[in-house]
């Protein structure tokens, strides 16, 4: 069972836990549990994903209850009329607010993208962020005598693969727990001290104008980061 955050005749939004795939993929053929399958079984009808979350990312996941509704929301996304907000814990102290405008090369998978062009130019990618809180721990990590972290609200203005994870690596503030783009020393510190290996990135707000009722829809959820992470920031989680 997944926690339902919003539901009407056209949509259902659930909280996807970290480590769960949105749908079946050739790259993870050994996986047996998918969010789409769980929601389908939960409500007794087919659902259609209108956006994706990386496997290690938790938070709001929206499904349409028909292919027509899914297409309607896809058009909203293409017109940049769906607003997504995430929160993440990153290494170091970020600026109070900033815009990351950094084009990203498309990442191709050998299995699923074997026929895709490999010479495509980098695609425009923009992320706005605001720093909510900063902390400093009296623990030596890497070459520094203390460990600094920022609690950041992220607002991607485009939807490139791994955009937030790649953008924050680009500005030298990788997201805590990111095994692919993160900082090994800081990941090891949290693993060794608190047994935490979870990516600290969560989709916490999704808002759009309902394509049928024309009413505003705003879906929110609290981040489900591990308790020790929430405690040091004095943040209330799920």
Helix (H, G, I), strand (E, B) or coil at 148: strand
Residue 169: name the closest of 90, 89, 98 by CA: 90
Helix (H) or strand (E) holding 165: helix 163-170
- For residues 58 and 89, what is the distance between their CA atoms, to the nearest angstrom? 13
- For residues 129 and 86, what is the distance between their CA atoms, to the nearest angstrom? 9
Helix (H, G, I), strand (E, B) or coil at 95: coil
Catalytic residue (one of 54, 178, 183, 224): 54
Question: 37: burial class by Cβ within 10 Å (0-12, 13-18, 19+)?
Answer: middle
As a whole number of angstroms, the longest Cα–Cα distance in the chain is 56
42-76 burial, b if ≥16 CB within 10 A, otherwise e?
eeeeebbbbbebbbbbbbbbbbbbeeebbebbeee
Please report the DSSP string for 24-87 in residue order.
--GGGTT---BHHHHHHHHHTS--EESS---TT-EEEEEEESSHHHHHHHHHHHHTT--EEEEE
Catalytic site includes residue 8 = no
Q: Which residues are identified as catalytic?
A: 54
């Amino acid at each position: 069972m997944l926690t339902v955050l919003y539901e009407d005749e056209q949509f259902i939004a659930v909280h996807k836990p970290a480590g769960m795939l949105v749908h079946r993929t050739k790259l993870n053929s050994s996986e047996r549990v998918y969010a789409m399958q769980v929601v389908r079984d939960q409500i007794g009808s087919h659902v259609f994903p209108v956006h994706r979350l990386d496997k290690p990312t938790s938070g709001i996941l929206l499904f349409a209850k028909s292919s027509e509704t899914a297409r309607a929301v896809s058009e909203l996304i293409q017109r940049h009329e769906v607003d997504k907000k995430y929160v993440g814990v990153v290494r170091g102290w970020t600026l109070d607010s900033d815009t990351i405008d950094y084009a990203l090369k498309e990442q191709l998978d050998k299995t699923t993208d074997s026929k895709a062009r490999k010479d495509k130019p980098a695609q425009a990618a923009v992320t706005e962020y605001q720093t909510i809180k900063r902390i400093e721990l009296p623990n030596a990590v890497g070459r520094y005598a203390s460990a600094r972290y920022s609690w950041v609200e992220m607002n991607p203005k485009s939807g490139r693969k791994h955009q937030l994870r790649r953008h924050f690596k680009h500005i030298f503030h990788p997201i805590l727990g990111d095994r692919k783009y993160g900082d090994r020393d800081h990941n090891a510190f949290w693993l060794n001290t608190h047994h935490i290996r979870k990516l600290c990135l969560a989709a916490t707000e999704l808002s759009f104008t309902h394509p049928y009722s024309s009413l505003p829809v705003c879906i929110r959820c609290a981040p489900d980061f591990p308790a020790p992470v929430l405690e040091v920031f004095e943040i209330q989680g799920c």
